[in-house]
Structure 1
Amino acid sequence: MSVTCATLRQYTSEELNDWNNFTTTEAGSSGATTIISTSLLEYDNSYFDNHWALVTSGTYIGSKRKIERHDNNYGLLDCYRAFGGQIATSVTFEVHKYDPDTILDKINVALREIFPKLRVNIIDDTIMGGNYVPNAHFEDCASSSYPDFWRNSGAGSSVAENTTYIRGGKKSAALTRVNNNCYLYISAAEYPQLFNLQGQTIRIFARVLASSASQARIELYSKQSDGTEDTTQVSDYHTGGGLFETLELSSGAVLSDAVDVSIRLTNNTTNGTVYWDDVWVVTDSREYFVPTSFEKVNKVFLLDAAYDDLNFIGETELYQWHQSIDSQGRLKIVSDESWTNRVRLYGMGKLSTLSDDTDTTELNDTQARLIAVNAALGVLENTKMASSVYEANAIERDISRMTLKKMQLERKIGQGNPAGVITMRKRYW
């Protein structure tokens, strides 16, 4: 079950008695300030003055402009500011009393604040017991330029999310080389816990897809305070051939008294893209950052599956663990014992927020109506603060009406019931 952003905007506007959608019947002016539709002839002159026009199809989809003049004689809306170009015929558009951006903002506020009454249930299999590095499956990318905790180095290089070539979770990291060798890396600068590895010998595994030999390998870099560097700790290269292979750096020695430590995943020699996934630094670590989709972890299970297993038969629930929030607000689980197998998390997250009309969130229609009421209440509360006493009294009556409807919808849905959609972040090993 899912509902689009466009549908939620419609439902919210309906709650505000402000739903008006039309289709242009001829092209607007060459100056790109007008929208023309014969349907506008049905309204009184100036009815839509100082409203907002939102284009919902065609070249300028998503563009909004404030309306200076509604001319009933021609079915024309003349906007204060030009669109990106002339609005063509047969283009759909909406007219709103309230700024469409404000409506969208209040929809997203409602989607966030309804948690945990409405929520997404999550199953995640991307954590490997004892793994020392966070975001090892590159699932979380707050930046469009690199995965959380990771960076890339190399002139002209880039790293991006990939959902086609994966080995676990939903994403891999696509590292692209352009004329210069490059690498994706996690270092003590981004993750200071790597300093705890100094003086140790560690094993590092990772899966990578590469099309050429001598292109992709694991490298362990460390540097001491006197400037001594060690760049000799490397795995074998991927053999090429365009398939995933598991690489291992079997005995990587981290310098003692290290002032810098980094794990590097390379793209050398050949221009093109390699796909990294499923990194495992083998330690007895007992702290694990949880994917950012989680707001709370409810249960933890240990699967009877090791790093290189392709499937599993059973799972055992674990009880010796707790969850906490670090200083940056990131959720993690901490175990009281060392785990060596794959871990399955059961938990809950917030509903997806929206930006484009085709974006969807995890709601059925009744739940979407509740979100729309909450969003409409938010719009009215904003409007009331900037209104005259007379207008504020009228708005307050609308707020009272919507509050009653909100209570009715909450009873219909059942407070505390989940959204009814389970997002499965399945492992494919």
Structure 2
Amino acid sequence: MIPSDHSRATMWYLAIIETDSQLWCSDGKPVNTPRGGTGVSSRFIVDGQGFLDLTQIAGNAIDANGLTLFTGIQSHDQHTADWRLFLQLPGDGAFVLGVYPPGDGCPNTTDRDTAEDLITVSGTLKPLPAVSPTDALFLEDMITEGIVPYPDNPDSPVKSADEIRELGKRLFPFTPFSFPLAMCVYDWTTVSFARLVFLKIFEYTGTGPPYPLDRQSVAQAIWGCDWEIYTPKNRDFMRTFLMNPASSLADVEAQLAKVIDELHFFSDAQNRLLAAAMRALPRTCTITHPQLYSGQVDIQHLGLNHFGIEFLECPLNHAVGESLQQNFHEAMASYIAPGRVITTKMVWSFADSLRDAVEYSNGILLVLVPPGGKWTWESGAYITPLSVDPRKTEYTFLAGTRFEVRDAQEAYIYRKRVVVITLLPCPPVDLG
């Protein structure tokens, strides 16, 4: 459940639940706990079936997986703090959600015709993500070897493995691989994200999987890292790339040639697990967060000419052997021009703070606006509970997310010159 800074006193709870399936809520509380407040979204997990997101969008309405349930109770009514809901889960991936009028007694749970006398909506649960046992077991090996999570995070309060395990059970109770899912999200919020970025943006995705890599650019990107203690001479940093400390670019290239296949699989496996976790995490209401922001390019020593290669639409994805860099202005004038749709090759992180995004910007500021009529950020996951730094609010959009470019213009924001690109999320594609 995503907390709102503008919560109303109005609450609701599931008074009657008809189901033969195990049901959880991602906040870890009993499913019949009172919840609510305008802009608060709660995710219910139905074992073996899917997710139901209930989002209070007004004083008398709840969004249920995109369907609006009007309670018929006015905001000034004394009963608005006690909406009693009926939920029916027949077991086939469908749901019926209804609300009892004020003062009506709740019928017996064995009455199968309960919903017929109520204000109801009927819909479909959002599907549970598939979790590859091979990927999960591989990540567990990386955990055992001490490569995941990144071990040295001096500026953040590190979570213990037990804490991450418990969060996994709460957020991903539908799978026996809840711990690897939780751990890969946590690891993403550490400096390990560099591995997940480099091994994705430097793929030639125009050839079909398995995608070849621009190895030279990967090696140069690793060698160019110089973030305080995170350098190629640091043992922990190089272990995240399955390598040893390096003294030169040639050293990085030689080591990379030996580990490239395993490293590429490592990246692919963790990105697949990350995608599954992000699909399962709670959604965020667009009422309380009407815009999200991201400073790009998100790795400091990569420049503007690395922005265009982050998208499947970049023509260089078909040019195996050529360096994956493209002039920023050429990219903006063609496949990233307003009106075009772009598809990400990598995970993107966003914040709800404009100032934070500008601080991390390397020349580009992305501004994300929600589609009309959507009450939650469907493609974005709220990952802060699993972050290495819970003080930093973070929303992630998985690889394969599509965005329509609405506008692009230069601006000075907080004394920084940036290209502001306004984006509208579109339905994602599956990158495998």
Structure with the greater alpha carbon radius of gyration: 1
Higher relative contact order (CA 8 A, sep 6+): 1
Q: Of Structure 1 and Structure 2, which has the larger fraction of its residues in strand?
A: 1
TM-score normalised by the shorter chain: which range applies? under 0.3
TM-score (norm 2): 0.27
Compute the TM-score of the two structures, normalised by the length of structure 1.
0.28
**More helix as a share of residues:** 2
